[in-house]
Amino acid sequence: MRLTPAIAGLLVALLLAPLVAAGQFRRSRPAPATVPYDSHFVFTRIRYGASLGRFSGGWEHDYPTAERNFAAILDYITNMRVRMDGSNILDLDDPRIFENPVIYMSEPGYWTTNDAEAKNLRTYLLKGGLIIFDDFEGDGHWRNLVAQMRRALPDHRFIRLDVTHPVFQSFFNIKHLDVPHPTVNVPPSFWGMFDGNDPAGRMLALANWNNDLGDYWEWSAEGLYGTDPTNDAYRLGVNYIVYAMTH
C-alpha cells in the first residue's frame, strides 16, 4: 500500500502506532553488518570511536530498533524501495558510504574524526550525499559538531532552518518545529549546511540540535513518549529522506 502525502498526513496519527508495533523487532544487538547493495534505500549509521565489530559510545544509541522501525514507516507510506531485512553500520573512511545517499550519526557531540575520514566525508557530501546528525544537546556538543565538520568542510557553516524550508514540505506539510527533546528540557532547533552556504542550494548536512528523533523511533511501539511528538519525529525523518532523494 502506498499513500500520497496529503492522505498520509491525515492518517499518520492512526497508522504509526499499530504499524510500528507490528514491525517491532526484538531488542537484540547483532554484530554490526552491512547489507549488499541492490539500489534499495538502506538506513546507514555512521560508527566512530569503536573497533570493528564492537559497540562502544554514542554512535550506536537506539540501534537497531530505531532504524528498523523507521524503515518500516518509510517503506509503508512512500514509493521508495526500502531494505527491511537489515541496515548498514559504516565508518566515514569506508568507500561504501558512496552507495548510500543519506548517512546518519548519533551523538555527534562525542564524535572525533581523523584526516582520512574528514577527506572521505568531504568528497561524499560534495558529490551529493547528505549526513543527518541527531541525539545531541547543549553548547559543548554543538561546538564539537561544528569543529569536526570544519575539518571536512572548512568553508561551510551551519544555518538555522525555519519551517518554510523545502525540507519540511518534501512529503508531509510540516507546520511547526516544536518537537521537544524526549528526555531533556532544552529548546530544539534544526540546522542545515548547504553547498556554497546558500540555503536555496543543495543541503549537505542536517542537524537536529537539542533533540533525539532516534529515541522517539526506538520506543514508538512501547508508547514511552506521547503520540504527537512521536508522530512528529517520524514526519521529520521521512521528510529528510524524501528531500535528500529528490534534490
Domain boundaries, the chain: 5-246
Hey, what's the cell of 243?
528531500
On the question of pLDDT at 136 being above 90, the answer is: yes
Nearest alpha carbon to residue 133 among 94, 55, 86, 189: 189
**210-226 residue pLDDT tens:** 999 999 999 998 889 99
Q: Which CATH superfamily is domain 5-246 in?
A: Domain of unknown function DUF4159 (3.40.50.12140)
Distance CA 106, CA 207 (A): 10
Count other Cβ atoms within 10 Å, centred on residue 129. Answer: 19
Nearest alpha carbon to residue 160 among 201, 208, 202: 208
Q: What DSSP state is assigned to residue 125?
A: H
- Please, which residues bridge with residue 91 across strands? 47
Count other Cβ atoms within 10 Å, centred on residue 88. Answer: 24
Distance CA 88, CA 117 (A): 17
Distance CA 218, CA 35 (A): 21
CB 152 within 8 A of CB 125: yes
**11-45 residue pLDDT tens:** 345 445 454 444 444 455 555 568 888 999 999 99
**141-181 residue pLDDT tens:** 999 999 999 999 999 999 999 999 999 999 999 999 999 99
